[in-house]
Chain A
Amino acid sequence: MTVPGTSRRTTLVAKTETPELAGQTQTEEHVVIFRLADEFYALDIQTVQEIVRMQAITSIPGSDFWVEGITNLRGRVVPVIDLRKRCGVDARDYTAETRIVVVSSANGMVGLIVDAVSEVMRIPGEQVEPPSAIVSVPENTYLRGVAKLDERLVSLVDLEGVLPAGDEFQYAAQAA
């Protein structure tokens, strides 16, 4: 599987190598930071449609365990994925901080359940490194980079990598 974020990463590196170009601000990543199991992750703000509080979710019988179900987003039926389950982190009860980050993906709108959404920020391009430098998993399709910011590490999420491809989703759902 290819990592859709690869090309962008290359550009970022190329840009940082030529810092004398005036367009330095263009190498910034405008992201939404969210928390999942005490770690910070970032989603490209372009893909984020909105962030809503936890709301009623109707589960679909027979679907895969990480598919929480479908929810009504102002008249639209949006499938919701529990990111903890999808990423293999232990499930936890929802809290007042739990949010659904609604993103638009190649397969339409999808809701991602996260522990909390902390902030919206710009990450300078030179602070982003390829994930392989820090994460040792070679075939990592979930992340497209890691940024070191002050005291913390923020992982840049590769949206299409996190989401199952349309057929995988259906297959998984039907097989369950």
Chain B
Amino acid sequence: MASTKGQPLQFELDDDDLKLFCEEADEQIELLDTSLVQLEGEPDPELVQQIFRAAHTLKGSSATIGHKKMASLTHAMETVLDAVRQGRRTPTSEVVDALLAGLDALRVLTEEVVTRVDSGIETGRLEADLNAVLEEPEQLNSLSVAPSNAATYPVPPDALAAVRTELDNGAAAYVVELTIARECQLPSIRCFQSLQELDALGKLHLTWPARDLIEAGSGEFELAGLLTTMQSEEQITAALQAVTDIESVGARAIPADELGAEIAATAKAAPAAATAGRPQLSVVDDHGPADTGPKASAAAKNKTAQSVRIDVERLDGLMNLVGELVIDRTRLQQVREQLAAILKDANLSELMDNFEETTSHLARVTDELQEQIMRSRMLPVRSVLTRLPRLVRDVAVKCGKKVELYTAGEETELDRSVIEEISDPLVHILRNAVDHGIETPEERKAAGKPETGVVTVTAWNQETYIYISVKDDGKGIDTAALRKKVVEKGLMSREAAESATDDQVIQWIFMPGLSTAKSITDVSGRGVGMDIVRTNIERLNGQITLRSTFGQGSEVIIQLPLTLATTKALMVMANGTVYAIPLVSVTEALADHEADIHSVNGRKTLRLRQRLLPMIDLANALGDSRPRRLVDGNFVVAAKHGDRQAAFIVDRLLGEQDIVVKSLGDLVGNRKGLTGATILGDGTLGLIVDTASLVTEQAALATPA
């Protein structure tokens, strides 16, 4: 067959629908990604049902937009899942493999909808695989799944006659079924609105429940009707989906020969077993007549009843405004202090009291507002952790290892901007843990460990940081091998390598150009990994640490701020300019006269906790060429970047502050040593110091290679 790759594709959807389709498809694919892995072995009926629904929803939405390949593939997946759901097929690893392969193809097919270009992906073989899985010897494994409900709708003879007349006139008959969201406050109004939509579409002959009941406001959540119309099935479902709170819509064409005193129900909502507060997804029973055609499933669905989707940009906008407000609060407080100083002799105490009361109230409200908006941007870290089981499974299979993954702390919340940034580094660390950390089953046996290795990912909050730990019980870091490697690669002299402590050696993992794996695999190990991971984490104002015991395993801990919108910083003054040094990198701040300063090789050096830190004047390090303003008494701020440290001489310490990071603007661009500016309490600007680059530079200067 000739490849269709690169050819343009057409889908029946506009930009708004596209967004909706993508959101929905991503959500369902994500769900499948997490749950398919759990399917293997002992399927929990509820889980199977959930997976089936997800596949079904995907099938429905792809059919609605006219994506035939995707609809056909999801149909094949759905058929397999249906067999599993009914206990006709045990989800063995072949079944799961076939489904996972299908899922990977679905991602590509979903992308086609955005790009509108044929990716050339061949789904025929995948579908064949899925069908083959079905045909394997069936097993009778009684799963408790609700039997298909053979509900019927009664049709009185006079209505039947009227329908037949319409059919003779060229109209088609449809059974239309609607489900209204459980959390809907006014189901009767929605029913009534739906009736009006149906009336507008064609002739509505019958409804179940009866029309007068609906119009009297009986408040039903389910509604069905017999409609004759010239409109297509898609037009019917589209019109009804436009009604608020409609959760699912199904329309099925009724051929003339099926018309009788009773019509079989087609679409029906899942049994009311779904837990309260979690609206049901539409489940269309697949055992209807073969000519059912594509059934549109409702796009309206949400995870929790009380949630609203908000554009992140809007939240960002709000967050920025609150940032401004926080600054104004600080300014007002400063004005109050100045006023108080001026007015303390005058008899204006009552006025001052009033002013103080107002400013402190404003301060409290601003703080709360900031907190609330920050909270609204928080998402549980679950969305990242759920991708991991699949990853671990894939990597383990590729490396021929047995690995079990445990996750904990999925509820830990962090800012969505942080979540977006944390995923890649985490994936990398996890791959490393499985690929380099965990041994092969044989090696593990020989070492007296269980064959299956364990990787644990844990997330937790502490103060204003979130921590994520990835721990494995693998072989740990072989410090002797690492020492050898570093010397071989010419990254360090033999003497330096041998004199380093084991703790120091372990940190070399973050050194650029180093990989300890014996061979480069396609999973990990090109020697750029951990270096880049650390750079990425530090860009987020985070820190990464590694602990390892040879033979027993390793643990990587990532520390991140809860939000990127504000950062805690130590404010300092250097040569007349205010600088903000991110607190996460500050290890110590002390007065000049308390510091233990030495001269090493003609350089000022600070001795701090058995370490020698190169010292540099902050303003000089940043290239401030203005004449030096003299101040009495300097201070020293020690900062770290990974295992490197340096000390900066500043004029004064101004205390800690929550700062809002602002870009220096396009015209100024990126500057060495600076990451941006921030508005200070008095309305002027301070500069934010890029400690990572400065510390690296100074440490490199201090220890020439």
Chain A residue at minimal CB-CB distance from B685: A58
* B342 contacts partner chain A, Cβ-Cβ < 8 Å: no
Stretch in B281-289, B352-360, B659-667 with 4+ CB within 8 Å of A: B659-667
Contact (A60, B671) CB under 8 Å given A72-B685, A75-B679: yes
Partner of A58, one of B623, B671, B687: B687
CB of A1 to closest CB in B, whole Å = 17
A58 close to B677 (CB less than 8 A): yes
B687 and A166 within 8 A (CB): no
Q: Across the interface, do B664 and A56 meet the contact criterion of CB distance under 8 Å?
A: no
Interface centre among B625, B665, B668, B674 (most CB of A within 10 A): B668
- Determine the distance from Cα of A108 to Cα of B666 in the docked complex, in whole angstroms: 7
Q: List A contacts of B670 (CB < 8 A).
A: 170
User: Given the complex of chains A and B, what is the CA–CA distance between A105 and B665 in angstroms?
Assistant: 12
A72 to B679, CA, bound (A): 7
Interface string of B576-603 (1 = CB under 8 A from A): 0110000000000000000000000000
What is the chain B residue whose CB lies nearest that of A75?
B324
**A61 and B668 contact, CB distance less than 8 A:** no
Q: Could you tell me the distance in whole angstroms from the C-beta of B663 to the nearest C-beta in chain A? A: 7
CB-nearest residue of chain A relative to B574?
Answer: A61
Give the chain B neighbours of A58 by CB distance below 8 A.
577-578, 677, 684-687
Find the residue from B623, B664, B667, B679 having the highest chain A CB count within 10 A: B667
Q: Residue B665 contacts which of A59, A63, A75, A78 (CB distance < 8 angstroms)? A: A78
With A58-B684, A72-B684, A75-B324 in contact, is A173–B679 under 8 Å at CB?
no
Contact with A along B669-691 (1 / 0, CB 8 A): 11110101101001111110000
- Please, how many residues of chain B have a CB less than 8 angstroms from a CB on the other chain? 33
Query: Would you call A145 an interface residue if the criterion is a C-beta within 8 Å of the partner chain's C-beta atoms?
Result: no
User: Are B622's CB and A62's CB within 8 A?
Assistant: yes
**Known: A58-B684, A61-B623, A72-B685. Contact between A169 and B577, CB under 8 A?**
no
B625 and A59 contact, CB distance less than 8 A: no
Residues from 91 to 116 in A contacting B, C-beta threshold 8 Å: 105, 107-110
- Asked if A60 and B667 sit within 8 Å, CB to CB, the answer is no
Q: Assess whether B327 is interfacial by the CB under 8 Å rule.
A: yes
Contact: A62 with B624, CB < 8 Å?
Answer: yes
Are A109's CB and B685's CB within 8 A?
Answer: no
| Measured CA separation A61–B663 after assembly (Å) | 16
Question: Would B625 and A170 count as touching, CB distance under 8 A?
Answer: no
Chain B nearest Cβ from A68, distance in angstroms: 12
Q: Please tell me if the beta carbons of B664 and A62 are within 8 angstroms of each other in the complex.
A: no
Q: Total A-B pairs in contact (CB under 8 Å)?
A: 90
A70 lies within 8 A of B622 (CB): no
Docked Cα-Cα span, A78 to B662, in Å, equals 10
Does B611 have its Cβ within 8 Å of any Cβ on chain A? no
Q: When the two chains form their complex, are residues A71 and B685 in contact, meaning their CB atoms are under 8 A apart? A: yes
The answer for the CA separation of A108 and B684 in the assembled complex, in Å, is 20
A107–B665 Cα distance when bound, in Å, is 8
Determine the chain A residues whose CB is within 8 A of the CB of B470 once the complex forms: none
Given A58-B685, A75-B324, A77-B663, A63-B668 contact (CB < 8 Å): yes
Q: How far is the CA of A71 from the CA of B680 in the complex (A)?
A: 11
**Among the listed A59, A77, A79, which residue makes an inter-chain contact with B626, where contact means beta carbons less than 8 Å apart?**
A59
Least distance between A56 CB and chain B CB atoms (Å): 4
Query: Which residues does chain A contribute within 8 Å of B672, judged by CB atoms?
Result: 62, 174
A176 contacts the other chain (Cβ, under 8 Å)? Answer: yes
A166-B666, A176-B623 as given contacts; A70 in contact with B685, CB under 8 Å: yes
A67, B665: Cα distance in complex, Å? 13
> Is there contact, CB below 8 Å, between B667 and A110?
yes
- Nearest-neighbour CB distance to chain A for B565, whole angstroms, equals 14
Distance, CA A173 to CA B622, complexed state (A): 12
Q: Given A79-B665, A107-B667, A169-B669, do A56 and B625 touch, yes or no (CB 8 Å)? A: no
Question: Is A109 a contact of B665 with CB atoms below 8 Å?
Answer: yes
Contact of B664 among A61, A77, A166 (CB under 8 A): A77
**Known contacts A58-B677, A72-B683, A79 near B667 by CB under 8 Å:** yes
Verify if B619 is at the interface (C-beta below 8 Å from A): yes
B85 to chain A, nearest CB (A): 56
Q: How far is the CB of A94 from chain B (nearest CB, A)?
A: 16
Tell me how far the C-beta of A71 lies from the nearest C-beta in chain B, rounded to whole angstroms.
Answer: 7
On chain A, the residues within 8 Å of B687 by CB distance are 58, 60-61
Contact A77 B677 (CB under 8 A): yes
Q: Are A61 and B622 in contact (CB under 8 A)?
A: yes
Interface centre among B625, B682, B686 (most CB of A within 10 A): B625
**Contact between B664 and A79, CB atoms less than 8 A apart:** yes
Q: Which residues of A contact B684 (CB under 8 A)?
A: 56, 58, 72
Task: Give the residues in chain A near B323, CB-CB below 8 Å.
Answer: 75
Contact residues, A139-176 vs B (CB, 8 A)? 163-164, 166, 169-170, 173-174, 176
Asked if residues A108 and B667 are in contact (CB atoms below 8 Å), the reply is yes
User: Across the interface, do B668 and A170 meet the contact criterion of CB distance under 8 Å?
Assistant: yes
Give the residues in chain A near B625, CB-CB below 8 Å: 61-62, 176
Query: What chain B residues lie within 8 Å of A72 (beta carbons)?
Result: 679, 683-685
CA distance A60 to B676 in the complex (A): 10
What CA separation (Å) do A63 and B673 show in the bound complex? 12
Q: Identify which of residues 70-92 in chain A touch chain B, using a CB-to-CB cut-off of 8 Å.
A: 70-72, 75-79
Residues of B contacting A61 with CB < 8 Å?
577, 619, 622-626, 687
Tell me which residues across on chain B come within 8 A of A60, comparing CB atoms. 664, 668, 671, 674, 687
Closest to B660 in A: A75
- Produce 1/0 per residue, A24-64, CB < 8 A to B: 00000000000000000000000000000000101111110
Docked complex: B587-639 residues within 8 A CB-CB of A: 619, 622-626
Whole-angstrom CA separation of A109 from B669 in the bound complex: 13
**Which single residue of chain A is at the shortest CB-CB distance from B662?**
A77
Contacts of A110 in B (CB 8 A): 667
- Listed by A's residue number, 12 A-B pairs whose Cβ atoms lie within 8 Å are A62-B623, A63-B671, A72-B679, A75-B320, A75-B323, A79-B668, A110-B667, A164-B667, A166-B667, A169-B668, A173-B668, A176-B625
What 9 A-B pairs come out closest when comparing CB atoms? A62-B623, A61-B624, A58-B685, A56-B684, A170-B669, A61-B622, A107-B667, A77-B662, A107-B666
A70-B685, A75-B320, A79-B664 provided; 14 other pairs, C-beta below 8 A? A56-B684, A58-B684, A59-B626, A60-B671, A61-B622, A61-B623, A61-B626, A63-B671, A75-B679, A77-B665, A107-B667, A109-B665, A170-B670, A174-B672
